[in-house]
Structure formats: structure tokens, C-alpha cells
A and B are shown apart, each in its own frame.
Chain A
């Protein structure tokens, strides 16, 4: 079992709709959780971090953490064409300050 798992997609979303991305992790001791966005050929850029159970909102983005289910999600509201990218979930594991990434979900926003 991979330590951090994501559906590779592509997730096709109409412009203006909500995109919902999911991620699961295996290490129960994980401390912090991150969502990164990566455009093709570019470096990952941090969108959001979340440390506590529940929801965290930042503009059009909402991250959700459920430690009991070892599950993180990202909602993108009012999707824009520029949101088309690969979204990477990352988990800070308990041991060694190790940041482990999922394989990424490719999102395509269509006009």
C-alpha cells in the first residue's frame, strides 16, 4: 500500500463548477497535510496546509481533514480554466520530518 494515495484522474470539471479531490494516507502519526498545485513542466506550489480536523477555507479553496478516516480532500469552487493542473497531496510523517507526496490528480477545467 502506498503511503499517500490519490486518484490520478483526469478529473474533468465544467468551468464554474466545484472540483472535488481526495487523498488518503497510511501513517496515523502524520502531523500536517498539504495541497500543492503543479502546472505541466513547472514546480509544485503550495496552495493550502491543514493541521486540525475539519475544514479550512482560503478563497475558492477548501481543505478538509478527517484524521479518523485518514482522509484529506480539496474543494475548488467556481473552477476557472487556469485551475487546470495536477494537484498533489503531501503528508508530513511523524518520523524524520519526512514529507511524502501522492501521485497527483490531474484536473481539466473545460469551457
Chain B
């Protein structure tokens, strides 16, 4: 089944403890992206990658890192999480021709206390 897989689905952590949210797609998509979704603010892009070793900042990149060493994987790293990073996170992927739209993962609900 073609899909984008995120792990974990739920995560509660403490301020300052480094964490990684994994994202993997099995559709051989070139384009991958991370979004966060907050009430009243909608979906905001954190980082995106147009191919292996090519990443760029989205609208809200502060406090996040990404890497794209393999085509299928695009992990999101929070080096020192803070409470304002409590949010619902989505990974998404698309073919090179983004005209076909994104396929989203199931989401990761992160709580930082």
C-alpha cells in the first residue's frame, strides 16, 4: 500500500530533551515536507526537501532540523524542544511534479512539558 509512515503517533516529552520524529514514504517521491498544525493557525510548513541532500526552510523552521540522506526518509529533529513546539505534526510527500498534490502521513501529536 502506498503510504507515508510517521512515528511515533503520540509523544510526551520534557523541555530540552532531544527527539526525532521519523517519516518514511514508499512511493519513490522526490518531494517531502513537514508541517505543524495548531488551532487557529492552520498548517504551516516547517521544512521541505526537493530531493536527496536538498532541504530548505519553510515558514516556521526555528527550533527544528531535518535531513534527507535517503529518498524515502525525512526525519524531523527537535534538538531542544520547548513547550511552544507542542503541536500536531504532519509529514507529506509528492512526486517531483507537485501538481498531483501531497500525500500526508497520519500525524504525530507532540506534547512538550
Contacts and interface: CB of A to CB of B under 8 A. Distances in A.
Interface of A: 31-32, 34, 36, 41-46, 49, 51, 88, 90, 92, 96-104
A98 B41 contact: no
Contacts, number: 53
B104 A43 contact: yes
Interface string B25-50: 00000010101000011111100101
Given A43-B90, A44-B90, A101 B42 contact: yes
Interface of B: 31, 33, 35, 40-45, 48, 50, 56, 58, 90, 98-107
A51 B99 contact: yes
Contacts of B56: 96
- By DSSP majority rule, is chain B's interface helix, strand, loop, or mixed? strand
Contact of A44 (B58, B98, B104): B104
Given A42-B107, A43-B107, A96-B56, A49 B100 contact: yes
A31 B100 CA distance: 12
